[in-house]
Amino acid sequence: MRRTTLRTVPVLAVAVALISSIGAAAPPGRAPLPPAKTPVAVGYGGAVASVDADASAVGIEVLRKGGNAADAAVATAAALGVTEPYSAGIGGGGFFVHYNARTGAVRTIDGRETAPRSAGPGLFVENGRPIPFEEGQTSGLGVGVPGTPATWAAALDAWGSKPLAKLLRPAERLARGGFTVDATFRAQTEANRARFADFPDTAELFLPGGELPAVGSVFKNPDLARTYRELGREGTRALYRGDIARDIVRTVRNPPVREGATRTVRPGDLTTRDLRAYETIRRAPTKISYRGLDVYGMAPSSSGGTSVGQALNMLERTDLSKATQARYLHRFIEASRIAFADRGRWVGDPAFEDVPVRELLSQRYADSRACLIRDDAVLTSPLTPGDPRRPAACGAGGTAAPTTHEGEHTTHLTVADKWGNVVAYTLTIESTGGSGITVPGRGFLLNNELTDFSFAPANPAVHDPNLPGPGKRPRSSISPTIVLDDGRPRLALGSPGGATIITTVLQTLTGRLDRGLPLVEAIAAPRASQRNQATTELEPALWNSPLRAELERIGHGFRLNPEIGAATGVERLPDGRWVAAAEKVRRGGGSAMVVHPSGTP
């Protein structure tokens, strides 16, 4: 197989002067100035890319003081729990992918939330029918055992060099001193205003005085600062066995709802035993070869690694570097459609389901499915799955499984250090604002990750691998990805966005590896997302493009989505410098930083 050399394309990038402290000084009575926010940075000594400038600055501070990529990832994640509380935090979970420069190994941590031991397939069924999604979303019923604190402990135990207490201090300072509210934070609060108002502790924190936080004001979270200090002092076991655990269980089992609220808020059945039993899982990553590069991803319980890998395998037979933009998008859309058809049938928690990971990622199976793709016609969704254990040319059978709902406001961070270690880490509390329920006195929102389960099987006659079960992990689309070239990191990336994470990562990878876009431009490129549905989502730049009409002529149907994903990534240049890249516009733009800025790619 030929080895691809990434084409070097000039990038307009200004190396930013980094701020090592959290927030610059401001005149009395004014909000502290946040660190400079730029979507791309280039240089030596390590790199951090996230959606938030305060969080990226925390990661850079750790790298400057001798911490490694795992240390910086944990510290950055803790800071995102302060500044991105509607997307991440210790009330949620995530998936952590790590490259070890000393051994050359890629390893992963599954920190996905788990269902209570009492959960069964009918968790979201009442009187023989699934409850409305909104009633699962905003309830104790949708709350899974958080996995984020345990993920931090597992990552530091395996690869870290600094104690957790030290890594939590910057985020603790940020929570106590506050951060500057931006338009995105205000808009997300406004979108949840009615929900948040029904929970007194949530309203007190995020709607002080019943009002939305003003852009430019300082948002402080002293309860979270105290919780971080407690975790630093006692370790993350405090959340699973101590007072924090009891507070979580009390909140889930008896959600503190405002008197007079008309919302139906169901209690959950989480117990202290469920929290004590929680464990992260060290999983072997998924791995495929693409254009001579090794692509590593997250294995089930996430469907990210299998779906991205299967789609890349299907696309490898097409020279995407020479394809027209219309043919490239057509092939990308169809490969995504097929991968989602197979994901719905085959992927679930491997502790409960027989997931054919090796077969899904085989080139033989990819070829048997790719032959369905034609340049002059469009597949019809919902497409039926194939059988990876018995591949048949252009074969499909069984019953199509629709894509379940997944919350879109996750967050992703990517880190590299001066030794060459790399982390791609995606963490989440599911919906924007998770369950909407804040643990009283603790300063963090609880997840609603269990709504990632199927509420009921699409077809009772066909097995659904994503139904709830006792201690089961719901299927995820989280896709943190690391690409190696001859055993050394080439690039790493990931994105939030629910089920659109898979298509965002796939499109960004092919944009960089095949289309030759600089990483920051591959991230910024207008996106499409097909998830085995009747129509494909398009961002406005594609919706308003002549490409839309060109693709509609061969049968594509589209619907508009204002914004898909919010990716970040890092790339190692041949001269040893790192490129950190984030969004230019989505979610208000991301924040890319390096330790020692130096030139442009």
Which long-range contacts link 514-517 to residues 24+ away (Cβ below 8 Å)?
514/291, 514/315, 514/320, 514/321, 514/328, 515/320, 515/321, 515/328, 516/6, 516/7, 516/9, 516/321, 517/9
Q: Give the amino acid at 148.
A: T
Cis peptide before 163 (omega within 30 of 0): no
The DSSP string of 450-467 is GGGS-SS-SSTTS--TTS
Q: Is 410 a catalytic residue?
A: yes
Give the contacts of 329 (CB within 8 A, at least 6 positions apart).
528, 542, 547, 551
DSSP 19: -
**What phi and psi, each to the nearest 5 degrees, are found at residue 38?**
-140, 145
Which long-range contacts link 356-359 to residues 24+ away (Cβ below 8 Å)?
356/388, 356/389, 357/286, 357/299, 357/300, 357/306, 359/388, 359/389, 359/391
Give the number of other CB atoms < 10 A from CB of residue 390.
11
d(CA 85, CA 314): 37
CA distances to 12, 370, 371 from 289, rounded to whole Å, are: 31, 16, 19
Question: 286, 410, 438, 503: which one is catalytic?
Answer: 410
Half-sphere exposure of 309 (CA within 13 A, CB side): 33
If DSSP states are collapsed to H, E and C, what string results for 33-61?
ECCCCCCEEEEEEEEEEECCHHHHHHHHH
Asked whether 279 and 150 are in contact (CB, 8 A), the reply is: yes
Q: Is beta strand 106-111 parallel, antiparallel or unpaired with respect to 93-99? A: antiparallel
Asked whether 238 and 276 are in contact (CB, 8 A), the reply is: no
d(CA 80, CA 411): 8
Q: Give the amino acid at 414.
A: T
d(CA 527, CA 504): 7
| Residues labelled as active-site residues | 410
